[in-house]
Each structure stands twice: as C-alpha cells, then as structure tokens.
Structure 1
Amino acid sequence: MSAAALLPVALLGGLVGLVVPPVAWRFVDPPARPAGAVRLCPPLAVVVFVGLATVRGDDPALPVLLAVAAVGLVLAVVDLACLRLPDPLVAAAGVLAFGGLAGAALLAGTPGRLVGALAGAAFSGAAHVLLALLPKSRLGFGDVKLAAVLGLPLGWLGRDALLTGLLLPHLLHGGLVLGLLAARRVHRDTLLPLGPALLAGAWLAALLT
C-alpha cells in the first residue's frame, strides 16, 4: 500500500484511539482507570492500523482486521485496568469478524478462506479450553472466548498465522511475567491480564506471516 493510501488509515487509527478510552470506561470503575490510556491510545492505534494496512493492504478482509483491532484495543484497556474481558465486547469482535469475513469471502469468491477462519476459531478455542482446564491454570474463560474470536481472522490468514498467533501470546506473557518477577514488581500469586498478550500476538502474527 502506498504512503498516500496509508495516510487515511493512520488518521482513522488516530480517531479510533481517541474513542477507545471513553468506550473502555463504560466497563471500568473510575478508580481503576489508568490515566495514561487517553494519551497512549491514539499513537498505539495508529501503529496497529498502519501495520495491518502495510502488510495486509491487498487482502479483501483488511477492513475486518481493522474493525477487530479497534475492538481489541478497547478490550486491552479494560483487561489492563480491571482484569476483565467483557462478554459484550468479545461478542462484538466475534460478530464483526465472522460477518465481515463471510462478506469478504463472498465478494472475493473464496469460500475456502471462510472455512479456514471457522476452523481457526474452533482450533484456537479448543486449545485454550484445554489450557484453562490444566491444574493451577490461571487462564480465564474470557481469555478462552477471546482466543476463539481471534482464531477467525488468524484462520483466514492461514495456518502459519494461526499457529504463530497461538504461540506468540504465551511467549510474550511468559516473558513479561518473568521480567516482572525478576524486577520484584509482582509476586508468584499476582494475577496479570492475558488479553493484551493475546491481542498483541494476533497482531504480530498478521504482520509476520
């Protein structure tokens, strides 16, 4: 995608970043609202949007990827603030992903990619259910539902994207936990949100595969 074409995507990302905090605050009590979110969300959204447009600009599902990313930014802020992935937001991401990918498959005449998306959602959801059922697992079922939703666009992008999107979040989360433990910022029993890692891993998988 040309630089001129990326400019409106960057502007859209900035606008989405401005909207993310007020939408997230509907799910977060005032004392838990991180002050830095209002300042950080616009540039972060620009990076997320421009990254997807640069790498996936020729994919008919790019608008779907951007829409899911927008909801994902809200989910990340909420999870960081209060360790929650609200069902209405996860469901909205799922509806956008499935409906948008179904439309993209129909318009592009590629029904096989929709089948791949559904298979990705099933595989990602099942894998995280198994992880959640392991003894002493701290994986919540909000994380499981989000992983299943993210399996839709990852499955659309292909097997490599799906497998990378399944592995990367846990590497990112594990590395963060080890770093925080080494710095004595958290304890072994401290609960940390997995949602942002799931979303970051899916975004990186879309860029790297």
Structure 2
Amino acid sequence: MLFGAAAGAFLPRVAYRLTVPFGEPARPACARCDRPFPPGAAGWIHAGPACCRGGIVPAGTLSLVGGLLAVLLGPVPQLPVHLLAAIPGVLLAAIDLGCLRLPDKLVGTLALGAGTPLALLAPGRIGPALAAGALAGAGYLAIAMLPGRGLGLGDVKLGAALAFLLGFAGWPAVAVGLGTAHLLNGAVATWLLVRRRARPIPFGPALLAGALAGLTAV
C-alpha cells in the first residue's frame, strides 16, 4: 500500500494533462488558472494535485489496488510486475472516465512493460497468453465493427492486452477477467437506463477492474 500511495501521488498531473479528446495534444496549461506547465519532465513529474484543482487520480486508488494485489497474490515473483502494471492501469481508467479515450502509448506500456517480465518468469505460458490476447482482440474487433460501435478501437487494444497478461495466469483468469468486465459494464448501463441518463460508457475501467478480479480471484 505504501508503494501505491507513493506512486499514486505522481499520477494526477499526468492524468489531467492526458485527459483530452482524441487527436488533441496534452494539456499545456491548467484549464482553471491558465498557469502553463513547465516544459520537459518537470511538467509531468509532480507530486500532488495537477495544479490548482484536485487530482483526478487520488493516491488512495493506486494504494488500494496495490494493497489488494499484495494481500491476495502474496509474495509471488509476479507481484512486483503487477504492482508496476497498476500504474498505467490506473492512469488509463482515469483518462477513459474523463474523455472516453485510451492512449495507445499507455496501452502499449502496460502490455510490454508487464508482458516481457511475465514471459521471462513463465516462458511456458507465452503460447496461451498470446492465444488469449489474439482471441480477445479478434472478438472485440468484431464487436467494434458492428453498427452502433459499442466499443472503440482503444477498448479493443486494451482488451487484447489485458487478456494477454491474464493468459500468463491461466485460462480461468482470462474468463473471470473478461466476464467480470462485461458484468460491471452491464450493471452500469442498466443503472443509467433506469435513471434515463443514457450516455456513452467507458469500457476501460471495467476491463481493468475485471483484470484485477481475474488475477486475484483465481
């Protein structure tokens, strides 16, 4: 939990700057006070709120995720990998909630940053992991191409990446992870329908929460 709290303190500014519509550059300044962010790394590496407004990714979020992983997985060799993967995961959830976008670079960082060490730790699981990622990616791509576009391409890429990572834990983890994601999103959609507040629903947070469930419940 200490790791999550410490790392989470640096996430608000990164998430805030990246929470912009597709195709737009990162925020160059605070939208409330118009104060420009410093150039270079100093404009991104900052502990605490993004600027004059509160952080959209509280340190407690990453701390909670890290604590769940540590308690439920125990001292396994894969634990440090999953703790580090939680950083881009929390960022992706926050950005998708804010602007319905899943930046490719963050999805790639999650997939490669966690997939490479997992492959080194369990080389015998590379085949099933690749198969899980390919199947999930193909299935989500087919859904995304249907009329109405219930899924975006960012959802397709993230779903494939998470299925790939869950594949190292086994097919039951893949099934629980993806199944939980759809149950969560279905519950949100039903609640909005009942409240007559139908609107586009970000699928990224549900996919990431499902992946956490798949890792810890199987």
Q: TM-score per shorter chain, which class?
A: 0.7 to 0.9
Tell me how far apart the structure 2 counterparts of residues 21 and 131 of structure 1 sit (CA, whole Å).
32
For 1:72, give the aligned amino acid: G
Residue 90 of structure 1 is matched in structure 2 by: 107
Aligned to 1:60, which of 77, 80, 102?
77
**What displacement does 1:137 show?**
3.1
Tell me how far apart the structure 1 counterparts of residues 137 and 91 of structure 2 sit (CA, whole Å).
21
Aligned to 1:150, which of 124, 148, 162?
162
For 2:168, give the aligned amino acid: W
1:173 corresponds to 2:182: no
Tell me how far apart the structure 2 counterparts of residues 193 and 60 of structure 1 sit (CA, whole Å).
32
Question: The residue matched to 1:180 in structure 2 has which SS?
Answer: helix
Q: Do the aligned partners of residues 48 and 37 (structure 1) sit closer, same or farther apart at CA in structure 2, a change above 3 Å counting?
A: farther
Aligned length: 191
Could you tell me which runs of 5 or more consecutive residues in structure 1 were left unpaired when the two chains were aligned: 1-9, 106-110
Could you tell me which runs of 5 or more consecutive residues in structure 2 were left unpaired when the two chains were aligned: 20-26, 33-49
Residue 140 of structure 2 is matched in structure 1 by: 128
Tell me how far apart the structure 1 counterparts of residues 140 and 163 of structure 2 sit (CA, whole Å).
11
**What displacement does 1:165 show?**
1.1
Q: Do the aligned partners of residues 66 and 171 (structure 1) sit closer, same or farther apart at CA in structure 2, a change above 3 Å counting?
A: same
Contact kept in structure 2, 1:21 and 1:77, CA below 8 Å: no
**What displacement does 1:36 show?**
8.7
**Residues 169-208 of structure 1: per-residue CA shift (max 9 Å, x gap):** 1110110111122123x22xx2121111110111111121
Residue 152 of structure 2 is matched in structure 1 by: 140
Question: TM-score if structure 1 supplies the norm length?
Answer: 0.83
Q: Do the aligned partners of residues 31 and 124 (structure 1) sit closer, same or farther apart at CA in structure 2, a change above 3 Å counting?
A: farther
1:13 corresponds to 2:4: yes
Tell me how far apart the structure 1 counterparts of residues 54 and 134 of structure 2 sit (CA, whole Å).
33
**What displacement does 1:50 show?**
1.1
Larger fraction in helix: 1
Question: The residue matched to 1:137 in structure 2 has which SS?
Answer: coil
1:99 corresponds to 2:127: no
Tell me how far apart the structure 2 counterparts of residues 19 and 200 of structure 1 sit (CA, whole Å).
21
Tell me how far apart the structure 1 counterparts of residues 208 and 53 of structure 2 sit (CA, whole Å).
19
**Residues 65-98 of structure 1: per-residue CA shift (max 9 Å, x gap):** 1122111100111111111101111111111022
1:193 corresponds to 2:202: yes
**What displacement does 1:26 show?**
2.5
Tell me how far apart the structure 1 counterparts of residues 206 and 188 of structure 2 sit (CA, whole Å).
10
Tell me how far apart the structure 2 counterparts of residues 127 and 172 of structure 1 sit (CA, whole Å).
18
**What displacement does 1:39 show?**
6.9
| Aligned-residue RMSD, C-alpha | 2.2
